[in-house]
Amino acid sequence: MKKLLSAAGAALLAVFAAVFAFGQPAHAAAGFSVSNGKLYDANGNEFIMRGVNHAHTWYQQQTSSFANIKALGANTVRVVLASGDRWAKNDTADVANVISLCKANKLICVLEVHDTTGYGEQSGAITLDRAVTYWLSIASALQGQEKYVIVNIGNEPYGNQNYGTWATDTGNAIKRLRTGGLTHTIMVDGPNWGQDWSFTMRDNAATVFNADPAKNTIFSIHMYGVFDTAAKVSDYLGRFRTAKLPILVGEFGNLHSDGVPDADSIMSYSQANGIGYLGWSWSGNGGGVEYLDMTNNFNPNSLTSWGQRIFNGANGIKSTAKEASVYSGTTPPTTAPPTTTPPTTAPPTTAPPTTAPPTTPPAGGCTASYVITNSWPGGFQAEITVKAGSSAINGWTAKWTFANGQTITQVWNATVTNSGSAYTARNVDYNGKLGAGASTSFGFLGAANSTNNAPAVTCTAS
């Protein structure tokens, strides 16, 4: 997102071109890598980004933001840098300090050059090739940090004009970075101010991926007003997943000048399908988009409504982020759900989410609450939140009975069994221990008829 946003200003294309699947090599162990459309850390564990963007280049004094972002549950921060062409250059020493702040707070660092924003439409914006020159000029800060750093070549590298060379320019930029000695996972943004309404990135992603000699590139879509329905969100992301192309939502908000993004669907679909997301942005927005601030004046104790939503809401950062295993030195279980998705072309129903109230626990017990987060003809997605009572617990069991013939087809973050319509969910090894008043959540996809009432859920602590 550029500091002063421009509306997308163009309609979605009606005809979708095919995206073709392709083979990818097994991931390496030197740093981050991608394989079969997924991102892996240096320990070989799948890593799903859950975090936020931070406008470091304009607010370099806000170094406490890294710790504050971590404290709210994030596992990743995307850091705005400048090449010196539109804004003052973040030099080698400053970039090294940013990386050290990420590492000190056990965050994965996605570093991006912002000066490319809107090239071809925005006056003063630079080319991807010029951004590569910047990366190579600070290479000494990056080398040896492959376990902790992902290089996002350039933010939103084309506007809504003259973006036809995006694929060629992006492929050439990747190859030049590789020739220059950078072995990191590379992230690339789409054109059209990052929103790719022309489907230029989507339809050329396989070509760009194969242009990388290391086959270690991930694609980033920015979801603002173009992505205002669940159908648009799931269609775009779903095509990448089907083609086994690595994709994440590198920016999104809950409001925007070019339309209202469907943030709920972005977060629920991403969680259901093991896709990373990075919200825009921590604080400091201007030019009429101050509503995208997650905190008031960088204060983590003063979250805005957007901040509350992305950190503490359904499918939010606090309940879904898992710290990269490179910081613990251990191999945690893989928590991503299966990648099979509900039908991407079916529109969601217009009914609001259905919630069943939690039961009241005894001291030291737990409560469980059920919410339907998305639905479509014949299917739905739901989430159950388990909350400890006045004392810490070491494990939990949630039980419910479907009254309308619903069945569960996929589950994540719990072990679920059933006897007919009666279902039992138990914690997995990483989310059973909860402090007093702490909560965790698990989710699932299911099949349903036209009636799909939320059942009451009981919770037993152990």
* Candidate list 121, 146, 156, 383, residue with the active-site label: 156
Q: Is 156 a catalytic residue?
A: yes
- Is omega for the bond preceding 281 within 30 degrees of 0, making it cis? yes
Of the candidates 438, 459, 216, 254, the one whose C-alpha atom is nearest the C-alpha of residue 360 is 459
Task: Report the distance separating Cα 409 and Cα 343, nearest Å.
Answer: 13
What DSSP state is assigned to residue 434? B
Phi, psi of 331 (to 5 degrees): -110, 100
What DSSP state is assigned to residue 142? H
Residue 222 in tokens = 């920015």
CB atoms under 10 Å from CB of 110, counted, come to 25
Residue 447: C-alpha distances to residues 215, 229, 383, 408 (Å): 37, 21, 14, 6
Task: Tell me whether residue 150 is exposed, middle or buried, using C-beta atoms within 10 angstroms of its C-beta: 0 to 12, 13 to 18, 19 or more.
Answer: buried
Of the candidates 188, 199, 59, the one whose C-alpha atom is nearest the C-alpha of residue 116 is 188
Task: Report the distance separating Cα 441 and Cα 414, nearest Å.
Answer: 9
Q: Which residues pair with 295 in a beta bridge?
A: 303
H or E stretch at 219: strand 217-223
Task: Report the distance separating Cα 219 and Cα 213, nearest Å.
Answer: 16
Residue 56's SS3 state is helix
Q: Is 323 a catalytic residue?
A: no
Task: Report the distance separating Cα 294 and Cα 253, nearest Å.
Answer: 10
Residue 383: C-alpha distances to residues 49, 122, 186, 313 (Å): 20, 42, 33, 11
Residue 277 in tokens = 């997301």
Which residues, including other chains, have CB under 8 Å from residue 378's CB and lie 6 or more apart? 343, 346, 447, 448
- One-character DSSP codes across 261-279: --HHHHHHHHHHTT-EEEE
* Candidate list 112, 121, 146, 251, residue with the active-site label: 251
Which residues, including other chains, have CB under 8 Å from residue 315's CB and lie 6 or more apart? 264, 267, 268, 270, 271, 373, 383, 443
Which residues, including other chains, have CB under 8 Å from residue 297's CB and lie 6 or more apart? 283
CB atoms under 10 Å from CB of 462, counted, come to 11
Task: Report the distance separating Cα 122 and Cα 137, nearest Å.
Answer: 24
Catalytic positions are 156, 251
